[in-house]
Amino acid sequence: MRANHLKRPFFNLPFLLVLGMGSCVLLTGWVSYKLGDAALQGVTQPETNPTQKLISKSSEAIEEQPTVKFTPVNIAQTAKETRLYIQKQQKATSKTNQTSTDAEKTDSKPEADTTKKP
């Protein structure tokens, strides 16, 4: 009789845990629904579909618009321009680095010669 009494709380605990988790999920869902409903209270759907304006254009309006012809990019020319740009940037940075190191050399004081005492 005592062994049966010890097994009962062991089986009730997972059931209570699942029941508690389920109630938390339902409560969270309900609160989320209410907050979302309150957030969208003033929002309305447009009366007309804006994409219909694009579809229902007259043929005259379509003919009046200028057509743009697709021209592919010349990859070789673009690569050449990119290489030249990179080389210019590298030259500019190397010149600024040289001038800054030259300025550091002229500004720096010579180190004093110290002899080590034995």
CA 21 to CA 19: how far, in whole Å? 6
Which residue is associated with the tokens 């040289």?
Answer: 98
- What per-residue confidence (pLDDT) applies to 13? 85
Mean pLDDT in residue range 51-56 = 68
Is 0.75 surpassed by the pTM of this model?
no
Q: Is the pLDDT of residue 109 over 60?
A: no
- What per-residue confidence (pLDDT) applies to 99? 74
**Least confident among 6-10, 74-78, 86-90:** 6-10
Give the chain's length: 118
Residue 1 banded pLDDT, cuts 50, 70, 90: very low
